[in-house]
C-alpha cells in the first residue's frame, strides 16, 4: 500500500509498504485524510530530535473503520468515521499512575517516535478511537485542537476569566476556541493581521498586534490594569515566555504549550510576588477529544479559513518541499488519501 515516507532530511517519497498488522483489540482503518502540522515540517527538515529515519508521517487523522476488531463497542462498526488519539501510554510511569497518560514518560506518537498514518490503512487500538458526525477536514482538526483545549483545561479557565493567548497558529487557535467555548473573554496576540482575523473567527474578542502595539499598555488597558487571569503561550519564544509571567495578573495562571528554542532568563521574584501558577501542557486527554468534538459539531470553528491547501497523497512530497521553502505561505495542509 502507498505511504509517504521521510527517508532523511528533505527527502520525502511515495513508496509501497507492507499492509498493517495488529492485535485482537485493534481496528483496521481506511485512512481518508491527514492533516500536516509544524511537527511534520520539522521532521521533514530533520529538526525533530524525537524522530529517526525512515519515518511515515501523520498523526492528524480522518479515517473509516474497515474492521472494528474483536467485539464492537461504543458504536464502532464497519463504516464508522473516526479519528484516533495518536499517543501511547505505558501505564506504569508516574504520569500514568496519576491518571495523566497524556504526559507518559514513554509516549510514542504516530508519525514521530513510530510510523504514522500518511498511508492507506493503519491498525489502531479501539480504545484510542473517537467517532463523530464531522466532515473529513473537521476530523483531521480534532487532534491538533485538543492540544489547545488541554492547555485551557490546565489553566482552569472559566467564564469569569480574561485569557490572553500568545500565537494564532494551529495550537493557539485551539486555545482561543477552547477558552471562548468555556465562555471566557479572549485576547489574541500575534504579529500577523491575517492570523489575528482567524483568531477572531475562532472566538477572540480583542486583539493585539505585537509588532505594532505596546503589549504591556494594551493588556493593561484591556484588563483595567490587572492583567489577564490566564495567559497561554503557544509560540515558543524566550520573549513570550517571559512576557507571560510579566503580564499575567497577580495570582494568575501561566500555561506553556510549546518549547522555547533557547534558554529563558526570568525575573523569578515575580513567581513569588504574584504567587503564580505556572503549568506545562502536553498532548491531550480523552475529555479534551470529547470537548473538541462537541465544539466542532456545533459549527463553532472556522474550518475552511485555517486550511491553506488540500492535495492528493501523490503530491504530498512536493507539498512538503514547497512548505519547507515558504513556511509562512501555509497555515494548515491536508492530504487526501482515499
- Helical axes 38-45 vs 316-325, angle rounded to 10°: 90
pLDDT at residue 268 is higher than 80? yes
Residues 120, 56 within the same domain: yes
Answer yes or no: is 293 within a domain.
Answer: no
Q: How far apart are CA 131 and CA 133, in angstroms?
A: 7
Cα-Cα-Cα-Cα dihedral sign, residues 142, 143, 145, 148: positive
Residues 125, 151 within the same domain: no
Please tell me the total count of domains within the chain: 2
Mean pLDDT of 3-25: 94
pLDDT at residue 100 is higher than 70? yes
pLDDT at residue 73 is higher than 70? no
Supply the pLDDT for residue 260.
85
pLDDT category, 264, cuts 50, 70, 90?
A: very high
Residue 298 CA from chain centroid, whole number = 19
Q: Indicate the average pLDDT of the chain.
A: 95
State which residues form the domain around 198.
Answer: 147-280
Residues 159, 192 within the same domain: yes
pLDDT in tens, 164-193: 999 999 999 999 999 999 999 999 999 999
Answer yes or no: is 142 within a domain.
Answer: no
Answer yes or no: is 211 within a domain.
Answer: yes
Supply the pLDDT for residue 70.
72
Supply the pLDDT for residue 69.
84
DSSP letter at 20? P
Strands 333-336 and 309-312: parallel
Supply the pLDDT for residue 259.
85
Rounded to two decimals, the pTM is 0.95
pLDDT category, 331, cuts 50, 70, 90?
A: confident
- Looking up cell 495578573 gives 249
Mean pLDDT of 118-128: 96
Mean pLDDT of 96-102: 97
pLDDT at residue 71 is higher than 90? no
Answer yes or no: is 285 within a domain.
Answer: no
Residues 161, 269 within the same domain: yes
- CA-to-CA separations, 77 to 26, 64, 66, 119, 276, in angstroms, rounded: 13, 9, 8, 21, 47
Lookup: cell for 300: 463553532
Q: How far apart are CA 239 and CA 243, in angstroms?
A: 6
Supply the pLDDT for residue 258.
82
pLDDT in tens, 218-237: 999 999 999 999 999 999 99
Supply the pLDDT for residue 330.
87
* Closest CA relative to residue 174, chosen from 283, 12, 61, 63: 283
pLDDT at residue 157 is higher than 80? yes
Mean pLDDT of 238-257: 97
Q: Which residues pair with 121 in a beta bridge?
A: 30
Residues 49, 100 within the same domain: yes
Question: In CATH, what number is assigned to the domain containing residue 270?
Answer: 3.40.50.720
Residues 36, 124 within the same domain: yes
Answer yes or no: is 171 within a domain.
Answer: yes
pLDDT category, 72, cuts 50, 70, 90?
A: low
Mean pLDDT of 97-121: 97
Question: In CATH, what number is assigned to the domain containing residue 29?
Answer: 3.90.180.10
Supply the pLDDT for residue 122.
98
Amino acid at each position: 500500500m502507498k505511504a509517504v515516507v521521510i527517508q532523511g532530511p528533505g527527502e520525502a517519497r511515495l513508496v509501497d509498504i507492507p499492509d498493517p498488522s495488529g492485535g485482537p483489540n485493534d481496528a483496521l482503518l481506511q485512512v481518508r485524510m491527514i492533516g500536516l502540522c509544524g511537527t511534520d515540517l520539522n521532521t521533514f527538515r530533520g529538526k525533530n530530535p524525537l524522530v529517526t529515519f525512515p519515518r511515515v508521517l501523520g498523526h492528524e487523522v480522518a479515517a473509516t473503520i474497515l474492521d472494528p476488531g474483536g467485539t464492537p463497542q461504543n458504536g464502532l462498526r464497519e463504516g464508522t468515521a473516526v479519528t484516533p488519539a495518536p499517543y501511547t501510554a505505558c501505564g506504569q510511569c508516574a504520569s500514568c499512575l496519576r491518571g495523566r497518560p497524556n504526559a507518559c514518560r514513554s509516549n510514542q506518537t504516530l508519525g514521530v517516535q513510530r510510523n504514522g498514518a500518511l498511508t492507506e490503512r493503519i491498525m489502531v487500538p479501539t480504545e484510542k478511537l473517537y467517532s463523530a458526525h464531522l466532515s473529513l477536514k473537521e476530523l483531521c482538526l480534532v487532534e491538533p485542537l485538543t492540544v489547545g483545549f488541554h492547555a485551557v483545561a490546565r489553566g482552569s479557565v472559566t467564564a469569569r476569566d480574561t485569557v490572553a493567548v500568545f500565537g494564532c497558529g494551529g495550537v493557539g487557535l485551539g486555545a482561543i476556541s477552547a477558552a471562548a467555548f468555556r465562555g471566557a473573554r479572549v485576547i489574541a496576540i500575534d504579529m500577523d493581521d491575517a492570523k489575528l482575523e482567524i483568531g477572531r473567527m475562532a472566538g477572540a474578542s480583542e486583539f493585539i498586534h505585537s509588532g505594532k502595539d505596546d503589549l504591556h499598555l494594551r493588556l493593561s488597558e484591556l484588563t483595567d490594569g490587572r492583567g489577564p487571569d490566564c495567559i497561554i503561550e503557544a509560540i515558543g519564544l524566550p520573549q513570550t515566555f517571559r512576557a507571560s509571567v510579566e503580564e499575567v495578573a497577580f495570582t494568575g495562571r501561566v500555561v506553556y504549550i510549546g518549547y522555547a528554542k533557547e534558554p529563558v532568563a526570568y525575573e523569578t521574584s515575580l513567581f513569588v510576588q504574584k504567587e503564580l501558577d505556572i503549568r506545562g501542557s502536553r498532548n491531550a486527554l480523552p475529555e479534551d477529544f470529547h470537548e473538541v468534538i462537541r465544539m466542532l459539531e456545533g459549527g463553532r470553528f472556522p474550518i475552511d479559513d485555517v486550511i491553506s491547501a488540500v492535495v492528493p497523497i501523490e503530491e504530498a512530497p512536493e507539498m512538503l518541499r514547497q512548505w519547507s521553502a515558504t513556511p509562512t505561505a501555509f497555515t494548515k495542509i491536508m492530504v487526501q488519501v482515499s
